[in-house]
Every structure is written in C-alpha cells, then in structure tokens.
Amino acid sequence: MKKLSIILLSSAATLMSSSVFAEGAFYGSLDLTRADIDLGVEGIDDTDTSFAIAAGYRVNENLSIELGFQDFGEINVSGGGSSAKIGADAIQLSVIGSMPISENAGVYAELGLDSWDADLTYSNVPEIGSGSESEDGTDIFYGIGAYVSLSEAVNLKFEYQMHELDETDIDVLGLGVTFSF
C-alpha cells in the first residue's frame, strides 16, 4: 500500500515540473453518480445519488493523473423510534490509462487511492442510545469507463468504480462531463 502511494505521489510530483505542462493538457470533470453502499443488511435501501468533481493532467493520449473528491451520499434508516444516518466521502488520487477506439470515443481504466471519511449518527437505538462515530482511512479503488467527444474540449463519460472502505464495498456508477483547457 505504501509503495503504491509513493508511486502515485511521485508521478504527480513529476507532473508538477514546468517542463511537463502543455497547452490543452489540463482538464476538470463533474459527475453525477449513484453509490451503492453494501452495509450487509437486508431490507435497507443502501443506494444514494451523489457527485464527484476532479481536476487532472493529461500526460499524453493514453495516460492521465487525477485529483478528485467523491461524495458517496448518505443512507438514512429509521423505525421503531430509532434512526441512523451514515455518509462517506473521499479525496482521490488516481492514474488513468485510456485507449481511443475511434476518433471521437475511447475506453479507460483507473487505479487510485481513496483518503476517505465516514460518519455515523444514530438516535434512540435500544441498549445503545444516541451518538455519533467517525472513521477514516486510505484504500485502493479501481474503475472502468468510456467516453465520447462532444467537441475538441468537451467529453461525455460513463464510468463504474469499485471502492472498499475498510470492509465496506461501495460501487459507483457515474455519468459526467470533462472539460479540457
């Protein structure tokens, strides 16, 4: 894990040298996502609409480095006078390998690190009472996606990411727009 972190961070640092920057190589993206948080409890709707935002540097046609924020949404559960709310988000650093399949479309794979934070708030839970807990950590995530160029500077993308925050699996489907500048 530490070795992967060092590789990702040193790659990002290399990109920060002024000799690497080229016009049109930076981009930003905004995604509308649907997160499925597997809590392992039957009968609970564990999906929520969420979002992601990122900024990246396109090293070449096939390689990008990206820094982003992923909101995994919130899950609310109530019944019998008790209630609970759990939410999570992550700062992400990733490497993206892409491959054009035509002049205006392509596919990609992503590997990165989530520096995540999860919060639980509960009230009137029998034998526990009320309170809140917070947990954080760093874990690997990966994903796949496809994009279509709408113009020279704008891409529409569809992606699927798999995250594991400690022992909790989160699958994220996203539809987004990427703007190159």
What is the per-residue burial (b if ≥16 Cβ within 10 Å, else e) of 8-44? beeeeeebeeeeeeeeebebebebebebebeeeeeee
In a domain, 21, yes or no: no
Give the range of the structural domain holding residue 130, as residue numbers without chain letter: 2-10+26-180
Residue 18 domain-assigned (yes or no) = no
Distance (Å, rounded) from C-alpha 166 to C-alpha 137?
A: 7
Whether 133 shows a pLDDT value over 70: the answer reads: yes
Residue 112 lies in a domain: yes
Q: Is 20 domain-assigned? A: no
- If one counts the domains in the chain, the total is 1
Indicate whether 134 belongs to any domain. yes
Residue of 31, 35, 70 whose CA lies nearest to 172:
35
CATH number at residue 166: 2.40.160.20
Q: Is residue 79 part of a domain?
A: yes
- pLDDT of amino acid 40: 75
pTM of this structure = 0.82
- Give me 1's structure tokens: 């894990």
| pLDDT (average), residues 114-118 | 97
Whether 118 is in a domain gets the answer yes
pLDDT band at 159 (very low <50, low <70, confident <90, very high): very high
Question: Per residue in 54-79, pLDDT tens?
Answer: 999 999 989 999 999 999 999 888 88
* 15 occurs within a structural domain: no
